[in-house]
Amino acid sequence: MSDNPVVDMLARIDERLGGIDNRLARVDHRLGGLEKGQATLEKGQTSLRLDLMARMDGMSDQITVVKDDMGVTTGSSDSVRKAGDATKKEPRALTIIQPTLARAQAACRSALSRLLDDPSREPPPHPHQSQQPHAQHCQRRRLRHRRRKRRLAHAAVHRRELRPLQRCVGFAPW
């Protein structure tokens, strides 16, 4: 050591600065390692994010398929339910139409029996070919017209009775 205390002090400061420089070099070395580790972590995080997104997309696709299957199943069960309801309505419709058909059958039978029992089954002559007076011809026309109106009114009543059948079964016989 020297006689000069300032030089001694400077020497000690140089020694301490050398130690600090060594410590700074080690800190720089450690910082470089940390930066490399951070870059590795960023790469891993990016690949993890990509893997998670791919997996979530796959799960979303699977959920969509399940939802579609549920929709198809629900739709088919609805159609089966509607078919079952239609089969329940069919006997009701038949109970509505059966009396009407029975009345029509009875009317046909009575008309057929009248025709078979009538001795004069020859058709009447055409009005223009017969020698009957004009008044009798007009009277027959009026009678035919009245009968036709009654038949049409009777058919309208039957149609009104058949309307529930039309709604239930979905067809119109006329």
Concatenated DSSP letters of 108-125:
HHHHHHHHHH-S--SPPP
Question: Which residues of the chain, if any, have pLDDT below 70?
Answer: 1-2, 75, 118-134, 137, 156-174
How far is it, in rounded angstroms, from Cα 35 to Cα 29?
10
Instruction: At 152, list the tokens.
Output: 């049409």
Coil, helix or strand at residue 171: coil
Q: Which ranges in the chain belong to alpha helices (H)?
A: 5-117, 134-169
| Residues 6 or more apart whose Cβ sits within 8 Å of residue 162 | 96, 97, 100, 173
Q: Would you state the pLDDT for residue 132?
A: 57
How far is it, in rounded angstroms, from Cα 131 to Cα 18?
153
Q: Would you state the pLDDT for residue 161?
A: 65
Q: Would you state the pLDDT for residue 121?
A: 55
Query: Per-residue pLDDT tens for 130-169?
Result: 555 667 767 888 888 888 887 777 776 666 666 665 555 5
Exposure string of 82-104, with b = 16+ CB inside 10 Å and e = fewer, is: eeeeeeebeeebeeebeeeeeee
CA atoms within 13 Å, Cβ hemisphere of 64: 6
Between helix 134-169 and helix 5-117 the angle, nearest 10°, is: 150
- Rounded CA Rg of the chain: 54
pTM of the model: 0.33
